[in-house]
Amino acid sequence: MVKTENLCMNDFDEGPIPRRSLSKGKKESKTRVRVFRNPFLNFISDFRKSNTSLKSREVISRAAEQWRKMNPDEKSPYCELARSAPKSRKRKAGRRRRRRRRRHD
């Protein structure tokens, strides 16, 4: 049996006990860079990082201009990324595409 005489109100002033998360390990950020099978799209995603102040239409037109002027050696890192990209994305299990029926009038 615990004696209540020795307890002091200061023992309860610490507030709630901090909870620990149930997941083990550190959470990874979801800002992962997507790698495309198209080298030009890989170039655009890299180009956008260095040109954040431009509007999207302007980014695309300037990136296309620069891509046309690049020689094959400059394009090669983006081509290698495209070769190493997965062939298709994995779909979540249980989610199927529903076909729409055409209406016959």
Secondary structure letter of residue 16 according to DSSP = S
Task: For residue 16, name the pLDDT band (cuts at 50, 70, 90).
Answer: low
73 compared with 99, residue with greater pLDDT: 73
Q: What is the pLDDT of residue 63?
A: 97
Mean pLDDT within 93-97: 67
Strands (DSSP E) found in 1-105: none
Q: Is residue 15 in a domain? A: no
Q: Could you report the per-residue pLDDT of 44-58, keeping only the tens digit for each?
A: 999 999 999 999 999
Confidence grade of residue 13 (pLDDT, cut at 50, 70, 90)? low
**Range(s) of the domain holding residue 77:** 33-86
CA dist 79 and 84 (Å) reads 9
Mean pLDDT of 76-105: 79
**Would you state the pLDDT for residue 57?**
95
Tell me, yes or no, whether 105 lies in a domain: no
Least confident piece of the model among 19-23, 36-40, 57-61, 67-71: 19-23
Tally of structural domains, the chain: 1
User: Is 91 contained in some domain?
Assistant: no
Distance, in Å, from the CA atom of 37 to the CA atom of 26, rounded to the nearest integer, reads 30
Is the residue at 23 inside a domain? no
